Structure 1
Amino acid sequence: MALQDEYTQLLYHLLPEGPAWDGENPLIEGLAPSLNRVHQRADELMAEIDPARTTELIDRYEHLYGLPDSCAPEGVQTLQQRQQRLDAKANVAGGINERFYREQLDALGYT
C-alpha cells in the first residue's frame, strides 16, 4: 500500500462513525497527499543530518564549523571535497600528536 493510501486510511479512521461520514470525503482526499509530501520531505531532511552526505544544508553546516578556513585550497571545491572537509571537521577526535595530524591531513586530502 502506498504511503498516501495509508494516510488516507488513517484520516478516515479518525472520523466519527455515522451516516454523515460514510463515503468519500473530499477533505480527506485532499489532506492525504499533503501529509504524504510532508513525510517524504522529512525523509529527505534525515539524510541532511550527516555532514558527509549533506547537499541542501552544506552552506549552513560550513558556516557553523567555520569553513572554508585558511587551510582550504584556493579555487572552487567540488561538492564531494566540501563534504569531506565538513565531515572531517565535524567528527574530529584525537589529541595533539603526530598521528592525529597525519590522519587529519589524509582526511582532508593533503597527502
Structure 2
Amino acid sequence: MGRWSGAPTSAADVAHEALLSRTSTVEALRTLAALGLAERTPDGWMSLDRPLSEVAIQTGAEDDYQATLAEHRAERADWHAVIASWSLPAATDDDRTHAYR
C-alpha cells in the first residue's frame, strides 16, 4: 500500500493519504484483510493481489461486479471511438454548408 510502491505502509499514513480518520482506516484495512486484499505485516499494511471477481463471488456481489464491469467496458469502447475520431479529416466550411441544407 505504499503510495507508489509495494512497500508496507502504516495505518496512519494510509489514513492521511485517504483523508480519513485513523479509526475508520484501521476498520477498512481489517475489512480488506478479511477479504484477502490487504495484509498487516510487522512493517505496516500491504495490498495483496487478488482478483476482484473472486471477492465479488465471496461477498455475494457478483451480479453488481459484472454490471459494473460491463458499464466500464462500454465507456471504454465509447472513449476509444472518440479517440479514433480525432484521426479523421477535419470538417471544412463546405462540409458544414452541405450538412445544414
TM class by smaller structure: 0.3 to 0.5
Q: TM-score of the superposition, structure 2-length normalised?
A: 0.32
